[in-house]
Amino acid sequence: MTDLRLLPSVDQLLQTRQAAELIASHGRPLVLESIRLTLSEIRSSSPDLDSLPDLPEILSLASARLAVWTSPSLIPVINATGVVLHTNLGRAPLSAEAVQAAASVSRGYSNLEYDLNQGRRGSRQSSVEDLLTHLTGAEAALVVNNNAGAVLLALSALARRRRVIISRTQLVEIGGGFRIPEVMSQSGARLVEVGTTNRVHLSDYESALQEPAALVLRAHPSNFRIVGFASEPTLGELVDLAHRSGVPVVDDLGSGALLETARFGLAHEPMVQESISLGVDLVCFSGDKLLGGPQAGIITGRADLVAALRRHPLARALRADKLCLAALSATLLHYLKDEAERAIPIWQMISKTPEQNQARAHHWAELLGTGEVIPGQSTVGGGSLPGETQPTFLLAIKSSHPNRLMSRMRAQRPPIVARVENDLVVLDPRTVLPEEEGALLVGLQNALQEA
Ligand SMILES: *Cc1c(COP(=O)(O)O)cnc(C)c1O
C-alpha cells in the first residue's frame, strides 16, 4: 500500500534546483503542466505501486515528458534508400545556395513586393519569372504553392463550366490524393474523355474538338507506364490539331525536367523546353521533383494565359511564399550558370557512377568493420521515370533480425532510413549527402552495438 499523503506537492517540486533548471530551458507554464500531469498519473496508478517515486524521480519523469513535448517533430533524416526523390522523406534536398537564399530573406525584411529602383510597390515574382522564361523559352511564368495547385489554377481560370478534352490513358492518380478527374471537377471544368485505357488516336481528339472546348489537357503519366498494345499521338501532333480548332493545350508535366535524364543512363523524361518549343500553351510542373528545388508549382507559357491565371482569386490563395521564391530563384540560377549537375543535390546523386558508390560503400564497410558491398539498383522516385533504375553498389549488413536493426537505425539522431533486401539491411551511398557520412557511420555503429 502506498500513502498518497507522502507525495510531494507541486510547490515543493517547483522549489528544487532541478525544477529551476527545467524552468530556465522550458519556461514555467510548461514545467508546471508537466509536473501536475506527472503527479496525477502517479496518483492514478498508485494502487499498483509498491512504493511512491521520490522527489528526484518525479522530476525526472516530468523532465522526460517535457523533452517529448518540446522536441521538434519534423527533423532531418539520412536517406540511405537510394530513392533520390523520396516523397516520404521530403523529396528534393536543396543546394547550399538555395538554403542560403531562403535563410537570408527570412531573417529580416526583403524586397519581396518592392521595386528598389522606383522605390514603390513591385511584383513578388519578377526575378523568378525572368529566370523561368529564359530557361524554358516561354513568354511568361507564374509560381504557386505546388503543382497540384498549378493544375487546379489553370483549369479553374481557363475552363470553368467548359469542356476539357483528355485521353483516358492519362486519367492518372499521383500520390497523395491528386487525381486528374477529381481536380477537374473541383475546378468546375467538364471532363471529356477520349480514347481507351491503352490507346488513343488523333481522330479521337478530332471528334471531341467538333464541339467548342476550353482546352486540351495532357497529363504526363508520371508514376506508371502502359506497355504492350498502347499508342498515343505525339504531343506535337496534338498541339497542331488543337490549334487548328483554336483550342489551347495545357501540359501537366509533373516532374518537369530541365536537364536531359538520358545523359545518366535513364529513360528520357519529358522536358519543359520541349513542350514549349512544340507550341504547348501552358506547362505545369513541380519545383521539388526533377527541378531539385523547393516545393512549388510552376506554370510557364503564353503571356495572355498566364495573365488570366494571375488574375484569378485562386492565384492569391495558392501564392508562393518568400522562402520558396528565394530558394527557387537560387536553384534556377544553377541551371542558368550551367552548373546544375554539380550544384543541385538531386543531380549530383543521379550523376554518380556505380564505381563512385562502390568506393564509398567499401569505405563505410572498412570503417564499420562489418558489412559486404554488393551490386544493386537506385531509383529516381517522386513520381518520375517509373520502372527506371540506375546501377549502384550497396553496403549490405547481415542481421538475424533485419527489421529490428532497421528500427534501431531509425531511433538514432539523425534517424537513418535504409531498405531490407533478401533479409539484408542495405544502404545505398547514392542518396547519402557527403556531410551526412560522419553521422551515418556513428548512427550505424550505435545501432549495431545495441544488437
Ligand atoms: C507530382 C505530380 C503532380 C503534383 O505535383 P505536386 O508538386 O506534388 O503538387 C501533378 N501532376 C503530375 C503529372 C505529377 O507527376
Domain stops at, among 340, 370, 403: 340
Same domain, 249 and 143: yes
Same domain, 22 and 60: yes
Q: Which CATH number do you get for residue 144?
A: 3.40.640.10
Same domain, 237 and 134: yes
Q: Report the distance separating Cα 14 and Cα 22, nearest Å.
A: 10
For the Cβ of 91 lying below 6 angstroms from any atom of ligand 1, the answer is: no
Q: Report CA(334)–ligand 1 centroid distance (Å).
A: 23
Q: Report CA(148)–ligand 1 centroid distance (Å).
A: 6
Same domain, 158 and 55: no
- On whether the CB atoms of residues 397 and 405 are closer than 8 A, the answer is yes
Q: Report the distance separating Cα 159 and Cα 180, nearest Å.
A: 14
What is the model's pLDDT at position 1? 57
Q: What is the pLDDT of residues 61-81, one digit of tens each?
A: 999 999 999 999 999 999 999
User: What is the b/e burial string over 348-362, where b = at least 16 CB atoms within 10 angstroms of the residue's CB?
Assistant: bbbbbebeebbebbb
Same domain, 274 and 149: yes
Same domain, 35 and 157: no
What is the model's pLDDT at position 5? 86
Same domain, 287 and 146: yes
CA distances from 115 to 43, 126, 209, 323 (A): 63, 10, 45, 18
In terms of residue numbers, what domain contains 425?
A: 78-86+346-450
Same domain, 211 and 323: yes
Q: Report the distance separating Cα 201 and Cα 413, nearest Å.
A: 54
Domain stops at, among 288, 321, 340: 340
Same domain, 229 and 100: yes
Burial of 16 (0-12, 13-18, 19+ CB in 10 A): middle
What is the model's pLDDT at position 237? 98
Q: What is the pLDDT of residues 204-262, one digit of tens each?
A: 999 999 999 999 999 998 888 888 889 999 999 999 999 999 999 999 999 989 999 99
Q: Which residue's C-alpha cell is 540511405? A: 80
Same domain, 113 and 158: yes
Q: Which CATH number do you get for residue 444?
A: 3.90.1150.110
Q: Report CA(23)–ligand 1 centroid distance (Å).
A: 46
Domain stops at, among 305, 321, 340: 340
**Closest by Cα among 187, 191, 168, 159 to 282:** 159
What is the model's pLDDT at position 223? 80
Cis ω before 212 (30° cut-off from 0): no
Q: Report CA(310)–ligand 1 centroid distance (Å).
A: 20
With a cut of 70, list the residues of the chain below it in pLDDT: 1
Same domain, 165 and 246: yes
Ligand 1 mutation pick, 167, 174, 222, 285, max ligand atoms within 8 A of CB: 174
- pTM across the whole model: 0.93
Cβ-Cβ contacts under 8 Å for 222 (sequence gap 6 or more): 172, 174, 254, 255, 383, 384, 386
Ligand 1 mutation pick, 87, 179, 286, 289, max ligand atoms within 8 A of CB: 286
Count of domains in the chain?
3
Same domain, 154 and 134: yes
Torsion sign (Cα): 423, 427, 176, 262 = negative
